Amino acid sequence: MQHQIKLTDVTNTHMVLLTVSELEASQPAIDVVFDVIGAEDPMKLVSANILPAGQIDELKALQEIVFDRDAEGIFIRDGVTFTANGKDLDPDEPLTKAFTTVDRNGEQYKFCSMMLGSPALYAQMQAERAKQQAVASQIVSNLGASTSAKASQEPKDPTDDYAMIMFLQQLALGYQIDVTKEFPEISKELATAEKNNWTEIDVNKASYKLTDAGNQELKKYLLAAQDLIKRYDIYCDVDVDGSGIARFDTGLGKDYRIAAYEFEGIDPFMARFLLGINDGEWNNLSNWMELLHDRSWYDRVFEPVETAPSIDDVGRDRMQSIMDQGKAALRQEQNSY
């Protein structure tokens, strides 16, 4: 069974999702902290499908908070604390004891919400959080652009936005696109990237690579995905009793994220796509160029959106109550640290 760790800092500035095996989770918690969270080469975690490629920078930022180094190697900084599902993490106990069982769309897995704290860095992290939150919130707000505004724009292929993001992600992963060959499947993306100065030629490899501007463009979408997770992941497991009281992360509820997106005017299809990019769902697609504008592939990608409870299924008043309770729970969680 999959064991998934959601690791955040005390201010929710940084977040990573780590997927470890049952064997790894059975180790003492302190060993997992050093071997996984403190991994010196995050790319090895990506290769082992433990860490999504899009979250390497997030993990490095968390490592800077947790670890310092001396002649003997890395060690945990003074004042750094870990909690798991709201309780202090026992470093000597097997980490698996900190997990709860979650059922999502009929598939069970183990989940642990882990948070690290460091009072000495709080002010510095708050400033960084404010800056990144502004960027991410702007992107998320743009996902909710009104239908009338979209209709006033020149009609375009609805897959264009998804294709451009996928193109940037593949280049960031190191996919080699030979500059001496023609690739009709990505001609539109290459032209857009060149126009915006998002790509340049790696002379040594005779292939395209992302410029700093290209990396920043991709990072905006990854930040938006992480903002969606922070604000709306609480609605992935909602159990509402007969009196209207909502309970979250019980393993007994329904996934109301799509209804939550719709309630707040966010495009659920773009949200679903950004989460997939962030989680590395399509990192290993050898035929990704062929799929960039393949409507049938997008139909499969967006099937969870089409089948999930919508705002009409849940009811607007009921969803308002659920979201009020969800936001109260998130505020309480943040204020407890």
At residue 149, does pLDDT exceed 50? no
At residue 150, does pLDDT exceed 50? no
Which one, of 23, 26, 58, lies nearest residue 229 by Cα? Answer: 58
Q: Residue 329 class from Cβ within 10 Å (0-12 exposed, 13-18 middle, 19+ buried)?
A: middle
pLDDT at 146: 39
Task: Look at the pTM and tell me if it is higher than 0.85.
Answer: no
pLDDT at 100: 87
The structure tokens 């709201």 sit at 86
- Rounded CA-CA distance 195/57 in Å is 27
- Rounded CA-CA distance 74/7 in Å is 19
Please say whether the beta carbons of 61 and 14 come within 8 A: yes
Q: Tell me: the pLDDT tens digits for 16-38?
A: 999 999 899 999 999 999 999 99
At residue 268, does pLDDT exceed 60? yes
Mean pLDDT, residues 143-150 taken together:
47
- Rounded CA-CA distance 171/57 in Å is 16
At residue 195, does pLDDT exceed 60? yes
Give a three-class secondary structure readout of 204-264. CCCEEEECHHHHHHHHHHHHHHHHHHHHHHHHHCEEECCCCCEEECCCCCECCHHHHHHHC
pLDDT at 147: 38
Percentage, residues of the chain above pLDDT 90:
53
- Rounded CA-CA distance 315/115 in Å is 33
Q: Tell me: the pLDDT tens digits for 72-113?
A: 889 998 888 898 887 889 999 999 999 988 766 567 778 888
